């Protein structure tokens, strides 16, 4: 007989692929269609609760519907959504509305249903062949596992909230959400024009959207939308809803009446569960109301005369949990454990567990952490290969994850450690033997010993904010004879000048006492790290306050290819890089096409006192993608001057594309005199030392005529003993001159200075007055006069009586 059609679940048979059971007893309250069982499992006793087996498919019905008139907004497809608001006026937050639009094309009726979740609307698009309701097994997510991707357009706080909503479902049911890897069918958190929308159940054959639009990014609303993904329709559309609520059509906004139509009996199946006023899938009382305080859905009074509250968006109700557990055949015992530490035991411990028991515990901790599981006691029936009563521990999120071990008897295993943040523990009994059972404890740890040549290390919960008060230690060991290379992909840790709060510490060796490479925090990615041995030690620490996204870093075994006898295959120079190497050439050469040999090129080392340089191809246009470096070296005590004549490069004052750089020194980080481009000829440039670096670069687009420059070297007599000058020595081309300070004049020997009469005649339009010997102390017994004469018709104004005048 058909079960009560009272739950907004999927209408089509959502059965896991499996052969039929032998004729089951119809005494089970859940049997309303043939139960199917996985061929990999022995048939359970029909007298035991069917909900205890995770392999049984839900007994859902799919009944044909009569062909409706085109004005009837049918719901028959598995897409339900919450999209943009389509009506005027306000509706209270947390309400859910429904609207349907039907269009006929041939034998297909496409109906669009709008539902409001929170402050956003939803849309249901359905394709239906009249009088044909197809049973489609792919609507249930196999094993209750739902892969997901979160689009890059969401903020860190939104991503964290989506994961919080998924963990809420996981905590209370046996549904599991995993980040997509290679799965064909998966959901994508995104933002579509519909606002908030989702397919109902598994669509199959690729990605399906769960759209979280503007103002929909609230915890309860996301939980609601995930309910559609799992397989739930809106509660108030059940065929039996008139026994529980009254629709007040006079209060409904004009044009929105179709939001309150009932679904046909063949579209839903309650699995024997009663109408749930408290369901997170239920509409609120004033959804689509003409006024905020007018009811459109009025719940019937209970035996105490009280109308139940409806439309909550806080958490899953007991009815939501029960229906989801039935839909996905969750085991009768066991649970999802999400705390960082915890314990669990077999049913009835220590007084013995019942026969034919099936329990599953799913441990899920923060991503980036591992799980350590220890059995503190174990007293199970012992058999060969643990065939009857046993515990299976798997390294992952479900029953097909890699097996860590199968255990029975009275000897529990040593501590079991997961490779990632999830662990599956399954207990089955099929004997009549009475034993105490078992108890187990687990703990989440981060860090650990890594014995691999490559991999990735992440802070706990990356890329979402790491948790407070964490301390994780990793010790990386690669093959002997290699070094450890560490390259950061992302880095965001609470900033502090001395990295005292949250930080990542890296040490060159296997222990905390090894030499410190660095302690890092802030938002700047650290430079690549290379150890000097085959081990590297890392520690991440967070305090109890500010949390950030954390870090992700790749590690790998690193070797110095340049230390090999063949110099890495390079003709001239080999430059070791992290994870690789590259060849380079001496000045005056450049890499050939094979990237190993060198050939003559522009640039080079010039040790002449004077000479000429020019861009490649001068006076024709220079080629693209050229990099020329000239290193000019003069004898000690000499200075080098560079004078450009023609000058024509691509670019303007920014010099972003093609340019010439002139530096005092020979390295690329020496003192920069200027970066030049365009058509303006630079002034004569004189080096500070006896060497100069001139570098020319061109990009791969516009080419110009280039440049030609003359350099000449001049001895700087002033660089030694101040040129013999008493006061100041001024270097000139080919010579030098001595110069005296204010209040002094040059002696006849052209080197010494003597006091001058302190009388000055000034005819310049502006200038500065200085006391004798400024800025040193003026001498005693001095009397100075300044006679300032300027152009007739002007007056002389002293500015700041100390030493400045301006013609006015």
Please report the domains of the chain, with CATH numbers, ordered by start residue: 137-230 (3.40.390.10), 336-446 (2.60.120.290), 451-558 (2.60.120.290), 561-599 (2.10.25.10), 602-715 (2.60.120.290), 759-808 (no CATH)
What pLDDT score does 523 carry? 92
Read off the pTM. Answer: 0.55
Would you state the pLDDT for residue 330?
A: 94
Cβ neighbours, 10 Å, residue 88:
6
Q: Using the predicted structure, report yes or no on whether residue 36 has a pLDDT greater than 60.
A: no
Per-residue pLDDT tens digits for 351-399: 999 999 999 999 999 888 899 999 999 999 999 899 999 999 999 999 9
Catalogue the E-assigned strands of 580-690: 580-584, 589-591, 598-600, 604-606, 610-614, 627-633, 638-648, 659-664, 671-676, 685-686
Rounded Cα–Cα distance for residues 99 and 667 (Å): 72
Active-site option among 138, 179, 225, 264: 225
Give me the pLDDT at residue 14, please: 33
Look at residue 72 in the predicted model and tell me its pLDDT. 31
What is the Cα–Cα distance from 399 to 298, expressed in whole angstroms? 45
Going by the DSSP 8-state scheme, the letter that residue 227 receives in this structure is H
Assigned token pair, 662? 């002139």
Could you report the per-residue pLDDT of 636-670, keeping only the tens digit for each?
888 899 999 889 998 877 888 899 999 999 998 89
Whether the CB-CB separation of 96 and 287 falls below 8 Å is answered with yes
Q: Indicate if the pLDDT at residue 106 is higher than 50.
A: no
Q: Does the annotation flag 727 for ligand binding?
A: no
Q: DSSP states of 523-585 as a string?
A: SSPPPPEE-SSSEEEEEEE--SS----EEEEEEEEE--GGGSTTGGG-SSEEEEETTEEEEE-
pLDDT of 135 over the 70 cut = no
Distance CA 361, CA 54 (A): 12
Task: Report residue 545 as tokens.
Answer: 């306050």
Evaluate if residue 799 carries a pLDDT over 90: no
DSSP reduced 3-state for 166? helix
Which tokens is 714 given? 């001049």
Half-sphere exposure of 723 (CA within 13 A, CB side): 20
Distance of alpha carbon 309 from alpha carbon 390, whole angstroms:
46
Q: What is the pLDDT of residue 137?
A: 59
Q: CA 390, CA 476: separation in Å to the nearest integer?
A: 36
For residue 187, what are the contacts with CB-CB under 8 A and spacing of at least 6? Answer: 146, 147, 148, 149, 198, 207, 208, 209, 210, 229
225: annotated active-site residue = yes
Position 16 pLDDT exceeds 70: no
- What dihedral angle (degrees, nearest 10) is formed by the CA atoms of 762, 768, 769, 772? -110
Q: Which residues contact 72 (CB under 8 A, 6 or more apart)?
A: 102, 261
* pLDDT reported for residue 114: 36
> Which residues lie closer than 8 Å to 570 by C-beta, 6 or more apart?
562, 583, 584, 596
Is 228 annotated as a binding-site member?
A: yes
Q: What is the pLDDT of residues 261-299, one digit of tens each?
A: 888 877 777 778 899 999 999 989 998 899 989 999 999
**pLDDT at site 718:** 82
Tell me: pLDDT of 122 over 60: no
Please tell me the predicted confidence (pLDDT) of residue 302: 92
Provide the 10 A C-beta neighbour count for residue 734.
9
> What pLDDT, on the 0 to 100 scale, is given for residue 600?
61
Taking the CA atoms of the chain, what radius of gyration do you get in angstroms?
41
**Does pLDDT of 691 surpass 50?**
yes
The model's pLDDT over 449-492, given as tens digits with 9 standing for 90+, comes to 899 898 888 898 887 788 898 999 999 999 998 999 999 988 99
Split at pLDDT 50, 70, 90, the class of 9 is: very low
Tell me the pLDDT band of 66, cut-offs 50, 70 and 90: very low
Q: Is 794 annotated as contributing to ligand binding?
A: no
The better pLDDT of the pair 334, 762 is held by: 334
Q: What is the 3-state secondary structure (H, E, C) of 379-419?
A: ECCCCHHHCCCEEEEECCCCCCCCEEEEECCCCCCCCEECC
pLDDT band at 580 (very low <50, low <70, confident <90, very high): confident
Helix (H, G, I), strand (E, B) or coil at 52: helix
List, for residues 735-747, the tens digit of each pLDDT value: 888 988 877 888 8
More confident residue, 55 or 116: 116
Q: What is d(CA 779, CA 516) in angstroms, rounded to the nearest whole number?
A: 59
Distances (CA, A) of 610 to 262, 685, 691, 710, 742: 96, 14, 12, 7, 37
Mean pLDDT for all residues in the chain: 79
């Amino acid at each position: 007989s058909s079960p009560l059609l009272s739950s907004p679940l999927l209408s089509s048979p959502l059965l896991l692929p499996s052969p039929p059971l032998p004729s089951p007893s119809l005494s089970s309250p859940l049997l309303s269609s043939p139960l199917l069982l996985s061929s990999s499992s022995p048939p359970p006793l029909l007298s035991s609760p069917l909900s205890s087996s995770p392999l049984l498919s839900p007994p859902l019905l799919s009944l044909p519907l009569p062909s409706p008139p085109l004005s009837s907004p049918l719901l028959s497809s598995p897409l339900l959504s919450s999209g943009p608001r389509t009506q005027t006026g306000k509706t209270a937050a947390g309400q859910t509305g429904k609207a349907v639009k039907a269009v006929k094309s041939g034998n297909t009726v496409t109906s669009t249903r709008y539902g409001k979740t929170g402050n956003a609307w939803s849309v249901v698009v359905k394709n239906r062949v009249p009088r044909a309701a197809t049973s489609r097994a792919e609507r249930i997510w196999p094993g209750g596992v739902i892969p997901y991707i979160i689009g890059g357009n969401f903020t860190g706080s939104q991503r964290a909230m989506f994961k919080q909503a998924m963990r809420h479902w996981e905590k209370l049911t046996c549904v599991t959400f995993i980040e997509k890897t290679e799965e064909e069918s998966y959901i994508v958190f995104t933002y579509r024009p519909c606002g908030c929308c989702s397919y109902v159940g598994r669509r199959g054959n690729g990605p399906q959207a769960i759209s979280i639009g503007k103002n929909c990014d609230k915890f309860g609303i996301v939980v609601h939308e995930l309910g559609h993904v799992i397989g739930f329709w809106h509660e108030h559309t059940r065929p039996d809803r008139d026994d529980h609520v009254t629709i007040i059509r006079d209060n409904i906004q004009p044009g929105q009446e179709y939001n309150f139509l009932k679904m046909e009996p063949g579209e839903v199946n309650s699995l024997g569960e009663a109408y749930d006023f408290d369901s997170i899938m239920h509409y609120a009382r004033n959804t689509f109301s003409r006024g905020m305080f007018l009811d459109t859905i009025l719940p019937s009074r209970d035996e105490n005369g009280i109308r139940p509250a409806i439309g909550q968006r806080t958490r899953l109700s007991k009815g939501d949990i029960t229906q989801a557990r039935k839909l996905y055949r969750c085991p009768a015992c066991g649970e999802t454990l999400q705390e960082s530490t915890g314990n669990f035991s077999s049913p009835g411990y220590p007084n013995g567990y019942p026969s034919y028991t099936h329990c599953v515990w799913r441990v899920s901790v923060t991503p980036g952490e591992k799980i350590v599981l220890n059995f503190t006691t174990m007293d199970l029936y012992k058999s060969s290969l643990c065939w009857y009563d046993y515990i299976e521990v798997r390294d992952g999120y479900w029953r097909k994850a890699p097996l860590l071990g199968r255990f029975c008897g009275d000897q529990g295993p040593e501590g079991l450690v997961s490779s990632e943040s999830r662990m599956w523990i399954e207990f089955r009994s099929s004997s009549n033997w009475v034993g105490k059972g078992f108890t187990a404890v687990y703990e989440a740890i981060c860090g650990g010993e890594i014995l691999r040549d490559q991999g990735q290390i992440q802070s706990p919960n990356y890329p979402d904010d790491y948790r407070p008060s964490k301390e994780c230690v990793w010790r990386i060991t690669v093959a002997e004879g290699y070094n450890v290379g560490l390259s950061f992909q992302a880095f965001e840790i609470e900033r502090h000048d001395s990295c005292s709060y949250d930080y990542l510490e890296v040490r060159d060796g296997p222990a905390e006492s090894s030499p410190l490479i660095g302690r890092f925090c802030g938002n700047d990615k650290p430079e690549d790290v290379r150890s000097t041995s085959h081990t590297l030690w890392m520690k991440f620490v967070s305090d109890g306050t500010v949390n950030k996204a954390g870090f992700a870093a790749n590690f790998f075994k690193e070797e110095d290819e340049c230390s090999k006898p063949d110099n890495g295959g390079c003709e001239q120079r080999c430059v070791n890089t992290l994870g690789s190497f590259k060849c380079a050439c001496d000045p005056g050469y450049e890499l050939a096409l094979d990237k190993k040999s060198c050939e003559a090129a522009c640039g080079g080392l010039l040790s002449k006192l004077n000479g000429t340089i020019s861009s490649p191809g001068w006076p024709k246009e220079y080629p693209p993608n050229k990099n020329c470096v000239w290193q000019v070296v003069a004898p000690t005590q000499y200075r080098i001057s560079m004078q450009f004549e023609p000058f024509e490069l691509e670019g303007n004052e920014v010099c972003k594309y093609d340019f010439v750089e002139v530096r005092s020194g020979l390295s690329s980080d020496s003192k920069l005199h200027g970066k030049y481009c365009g058509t303006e000829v630079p002034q004569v440039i004189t080096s500070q030392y006896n060497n100069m670096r001139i570098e020319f670069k061109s990009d791969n687009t516009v080419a110009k005529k280039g440049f030609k420059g003359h350099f000449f070297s001049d001895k700087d007599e002033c660089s030694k003993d101040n040129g013999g000058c008493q006061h100041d020595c001024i270097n000139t081309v080919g010579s030098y001159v001595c110069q005296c300070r204010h209040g002094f004049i040059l002696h006849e020997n052209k080197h010494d200075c003597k006091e001058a009469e302190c009388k000055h005649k000034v005819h310049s339009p502006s200038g500065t007055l200085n006391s004798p010997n400024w800025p040193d102390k003026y001498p005693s017994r001095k009397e100075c006069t300044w006679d300032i004469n300027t152009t007739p018709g002007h007056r002389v104004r002293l500015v700041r009586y100390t030493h400045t005048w301006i013609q006015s």
